[in-house]
């Protein structure tokens, strides 16, 4: 992944999200890189973020399409999905998170959750990533949930 393009895309997402009064939460490999390595993971293929508020889907999409993002092919099968697979400089996955009894969920369709974040992971923290403030779910519970208890260990030479 081209880190300069990834950073530019992430900043654009944050700008659109901030303009709507919504919080951009780093997820998956983006969160792991930001929390553990303080940079994008070497070998990662996309940027992953969550935004609470599926009801803002059209505003978020309009803002990002207006900033040059395109919807990746294949996603038209789920026009009301909470998962927005986009591309401008790099592939970006935006997960529109909805509160549920057990935490937060992003639904691809009414029967299939793309991701589920349990209640134990929902505490948020602010971190600085490439000079900008972002939100992450508290790293220890969230990254342990996603990657296991050894999330702080760099296993893959490609990540270094």
Residue owning tokens 């990834």: 6
pLDDT (tens digit per residue) in 99-109: 888 889 898 77
Architecture of domain 3-159: 2-Layer Sandwich (3.30)
- pLDDT above 70 (res 95): yes
Distances (CA, A) of 38 to 1, 13, 30, 75, 132: 16, 19, 10, 31, 12
- pLDDT above 70 (res 77): no
- pLDDT above 80 (res 75): no
What does the domain layout of the chain look like in residue ranges? 3-159
């Amino acid at each position: 992944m081209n880190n300069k393009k990834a950073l530019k895309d992430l900043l654009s997402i944050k700008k659109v999200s901030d303009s709507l009064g919504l919080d951009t939460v780093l997820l998956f490999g983006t969160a792991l890189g930001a929390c553990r390595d303080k940079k994008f993971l070497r070998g990662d293929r996309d940027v992953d973020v969550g935004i609470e508020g599926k009801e803002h889907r059209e505003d978020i999409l309009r803002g990002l399409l207006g900033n040059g993002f395109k919807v990746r092919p294949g996603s038209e099968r789920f026009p009301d999905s909470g998962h927005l697979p986009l591309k401008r400089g790099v592939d970006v996955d935006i997960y529109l998170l909805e509160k549920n009894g057990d935490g937060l969920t992003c639904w691809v369709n009414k029967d299939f959750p793309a991701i589920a974040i349990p209640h134990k992971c929902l505490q948020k923290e602010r971190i600085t990533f490439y000079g900008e403030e972002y939100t992450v779910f508290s790293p220890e519970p969230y990254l342990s949930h996603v990657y296991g208890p050894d999330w702080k260990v760099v296993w893959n030479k490609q990540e270094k």
